[in-house]
Structure formats: C-alpha cells, structure tokens
Amino acid sequence: MGCCKHKNVIILTTLVFLFLTIGILSMSLWSTVYNKILVRELTITNDSTGYKMWQETPVPMYLNVFLFNWSNAEEVIDNNWSIKPRFEELGPYVFSEHHIRTNLTWINDNQSVIYYQKRIWKFIPELSNGNLSDKVTNVNVVAVAASYLVRKQGYPVKKILSFLLGLKEKSLILTKTVDEWLFTGYKDSLLELIASLNLPIFSSVTSDRFGWFFGRNNSETYDGNFTMFTGSNDIELLGIINEWNGKPYSPYFNDYCAFVNGTSGELWPPVEKYDLVDIFAPDLCSSVRLQFQDSYKEFFGIRGKKYAATDFDFDNGTKYPEQKCFITDQTYPSGVRDISKCKFGAPAFVSYPHFYLADPFYANSVDGMHPNKTAHEFYIILEPNTGVPLEARAALQLNLLIQPISGISMFKKVKKTFMPMVYFTQTALLSKPLAKEAKMLLTLPSVMLYTGGALVGIALLGALAGIYITCNRAWTTREEENRLLDGQQNNVQQ
C-alpha cells in the first residue's frame, strides 16, 4: 500500500508544479504573447484580420456635403461690393462612401505596401435635406481660377482673358444644380477653349467640365498612390504613409510642411503614448495634426481617446512659427491653408467649416457664418492599445479667393474676399459586430492574467492541501495506521 501513498504524492506534486509554472508564465509573458497576437491580427499581411478590414473598409462611412448659396449676389455686384456677400447653408446632401485599395505592390519583405485607393460614393436621398436637382448660386469658379492664373502676366494677356470672359462667361455669378456643382460637373465653354489652346500657363486644364468632385467617383488614380508601412516589422509604424506618388514629400509645399506623414485616417498603430497624431490628406496635398483632448469616450464597452483639430493646423506662422512654410504666395490671417498649387492653380483655400478656429477676419467678411465646435469640429476617437478607430468626423471647407485684378473687367471692382463654396463632413462609426471582435482582442490580456492567477491559486491550494494531509498522515491507509498503533502499544507495554 506504500506505493499508492508515494504515487498520490507524486501526482499532486506534479500537478502543483505544472499549474504553478503555467500560471507564472501566463502572468509574466502575457505582454509578449499579446503583442505577437496584435502583430498577427492588426498588421497588413495577406492572411491577417487587419488586411481584410483595410483592403475594403467594412465600417459604414458617409459624406455629408453642404453647399453655400450666395443669396444676395446681384445686390453685391450692383453695389460694387459695398455690402457683404450673404450665404445660406444648403444640405446636407448625404452620400455613402466606400473605400477599396487596389493595385497592391509589396516591398521590403512586406514591410511596406504601395497601393491606389478607389472611393465610391452613392447618393442617399432619404438621409439628405434636399435633392441633387436643387439650384445653388455662387461665384463663377472657372472665371475666378482663370483670372487668378494670369494675375502676374502682362497687360496684353489679361486683356485677352478679359475679352474671353465677357464672351464666354459673361458673369461672375453662376447658378447650377447640386449634382453639377459636385459629381456630374457642368460643361464650360471657356474651359473648352483654354484646353484647345495648349498654352503653358493653362497646362493644368485638361477637361471642359468642372465639378468639385468631378472625375473622382470610382476612380483608382485620382488620389495618387501611397506607400504605407504594414507594421509587420514594427507595430508602431502600422498605417503610417511615408511616400505619396513615390516621394516622401509633397511638391506643393516647402520644408517641414512638405513632409508626407501620418496615416490615411482609417488604419492606426497603438496610440496609448501619443498626444499628437497626423492624418495625410491627398485633398490638401499635406497633413493635418490632431491633439489629444484629455477626454475619453466609450463605444459598446470600448474606451477610446479623442483627438481633435486645433488652430495649429491652418495657421500660417502667425501663431505657430513652424507653420510659416504653408505660405505660398501672400500672407493671410491665420485659419486657412492655401492649396492653390495643389488644385491646378485655382485660388482654393481650405478651412474648417464656417471658418471654425480661424481668425474672425474670415467670418466677419461675409454674412451667414456660424462656427461652433459641436457642428464643425474635426476629430477622431481611437482605442489606444490597438489604434482601432471607434468614431471619426473629418470636417473641411473649401473657399475661393476673389480679388481685384487690373486689366480684367470682371474683377475690376470686386473686394478681396474668401468666398465659402462647399464644406463636407466625412463620418464613420464602428459597428456593433466589429466592436465585438475588437473587444475580444482587447480582453485577451485580462483573460491571460486572470487565468494565470487562477492557476497559481490552484497550485498554492494544492500545495497547502498536500502539507495539511502530510501533517495529518492522511496519505496512510487504514492497515498502515493499525500497524503504527500496534507498534506504539507494544512499545508502551515494554
């Protein structure tokens, strides 16, 4: 019977050692194991979960477009710009937005990937406040852009354009449908003529149609190509774009402002230790920087860090000296970014909607601007340990600069004004099924720690039980106990 006793001792000792070892390893190595799981699931490789979500974005996205209607246009022109232009906001005109990454080229053993991005928009009338057939009046974009391009040319060139504007465009005021202003575009006779002339100064003109989003819907090449780190070599680089159209800088800006930096806004590395994050936007040919707002928000039980835009982004050195390199032609008050070189030479300036966070000069120059944080803030909320976006709202406004240009009759009496044309908010919210998947990944460290702790606890209980049993001779059988008692009695009698 002694062999049974020793066998039981060995079994218990083995189990205690096994549970203790597994428990300690689970508690001490959870960080290493978890990081490997993160790399496997989040990095962009052909068989990762992250790749499937990045290659064709599953999160519902919407583009809410607001157009500004110049309601007193005739009055302003008739009074030689002695009164302010007045604008009313129309919309939103809501479009679903879907992203697909195409033409992938893997480089450096899959540490980076070159890709193109196709964006697909579809109008959703039931979510919109208005129809695509709505009429909208604003400044004549083609006339303004053509005049801006020749503003530094000699008098004869300006007079020729002035004649053509009177012949082809006739008015600084233009009324078109929402659809024409946006995706379908409208045919313009001046554009048609300019494109046929093949003049170097108008080399950027390649179409006889204009629309803010004309030629973009379903296009694979409009945004250019991006070179992005996959995170396979370093999870901290996941989603970071380091080249645009094969270059690490934007050709439209100088110095620090030209650096291609940040993510596309949909794929992020862990951001727990970062207070600043960057988004590279091809529409701006540059990046915007968002700052941690010292606030968190919860979605389906997942806690996220909120990063939002500040007045730093569209400053031009007025408040932040390092932003001075965004000045491309003239110096303006803080609050708009000159992207004219990025937009075929047209005097296009980007701000936040209603000139939110901009110098009051802009909103005070026109009537109808009502900037406020709730409606016009640009922000993103990220889960800090994985970088998974929980909610995002990109909000940008496109403005057109009109100014007096000598030699061109149409612009002889205009007042220098930044005319608000259109703004959009691009929104995305993590769906409940995707949140459930993300939550499973996030709870894994806790599971590993609790499991390890439970195993260590079981091992300690087993060890205590073994000590107790040994001290109370519970390992011995009844026959062994009787023999021990007999032996003790014999010793007493002797």
Whether 70 has a pLDDT exceeding 90, the answer reads yes
Same domain, 12 and 64: no
Residue 174 lies in a domain: yes
| Rounded distance between C-alpha atoms, residue 235 and residue 220, angstroms | 28
Residue 45 lies in a domain: no
The residue ranking higher by pLDDT, 151 or 19, is 151
> What average pLDDT does range 33-42 have in this prediction?
66
Whether 51 has a pLDDT exceeding 90, the answer reads no
Same domain, 464 and 333: no
Domain that holds residue 469: 2-38+442-493
| Rounded distance between C-alpha atoms, residue 357 and residue 290, angstroms | 13
Q: Which residues of 198-212 are buried (b: 16+ CB within 10 A; e: fewer)?
A: eeebbeebeebebbb
Short-list 272, 266, 242, CA closest to 97: 266
Distance of CA 282 to the CA centre of its chain: 12
Residue 435 lies in a domain: no
Handedness of CA 111, 116, 122, 128 (dihedral sign): positive
Among 143-152, 208-217, 445-454, which stretch is predicted with the lowest mean pLDDT?
445-454
Same domain, 364 and 320: yes
Tell which of 430, 453, 469 closes a domain. Answer: 430
Best mean pLDDT range from 233-237, 247-251, 458-462? 247-251
- Residue 244's pLDDT band, with cuts at 50, 70 and 90, is very high
**DSSP state at residue 259:** B
Same domain, 368 and 260: yes
Number of structural domains (the chain) is 2
Residue 47 lies in a domain: no
Whether 466 has a pLDDT exceeding 70, the answer reads no
Same domain, 325 and 464: no
Side chain identity, residue 70: W
Same domain, 287 and 142: yes
Strand extents, DSSP E, 145-285: 173-177, 186-187, 209-210, 225-229, 241-244, 276-281
Residue the block writes with tokens 């032609």: 329
Same domain, 337 and 474: no
pLDDT the model gives residue 147: 92
- Helix H or strand E encompassing 76: helix 73-78
pLDDT the model gives residue 433: 75
Residue 180 lies in a domain: yes
| Residues 38 and 138: beta-carbon distance below 8 Å | no
Same domain, 336 and 379: yes
The residue ranking higher by pLDDT, 466 or 140, is 140
What's the pLDDT tens digit per position in 157-213? 889 889 988 888 889 999 999 999 999 999 998 888 877 777 677 777 778 899 999
The pLDDT > 70 percentage for the chain reads 80
pLDDT the model gives residue 455: 44
Same domain, 212 and 144: yes
Same domain, 24 and 113: no
| Residues 193 and 217: beta-carbon distance below 8 Å | no
Residue 49 lies in a domain: no
**DSSP state at residue 222:** T
| Residues 291 and 310: beta-carbon distance below 8 Å | yes
Residue 44 lies in a domain: no
Residue 436 lies in a domain: no
Same domain, 386 and 460: no
| Residues 58 and 50: beta-carbon distance below 8 Å | no
The count of other CB atoms within 10 Å of the CB of residue 163 is 12
**Token code pair at residue 87:** 């604008």
Residue the block writes with tokens 């001792």: 9
Same domain, 343 and 300: yes
pLDDT the model gives residue 14: 64
- Residue 446's pLDDT band, with cuts at 50, 70 and 90, is very low
| Residue 307, helix vs strand vs coil | strand
| Rounded distance between C-alpha atoms, residue 326 and residue 42, angstroms | 35
pLDDT the model gives residue 227: 97
pLDDT the model gives residue 22: 55
Tell which of 410, 430, 450 closes a domain. Answer: 430
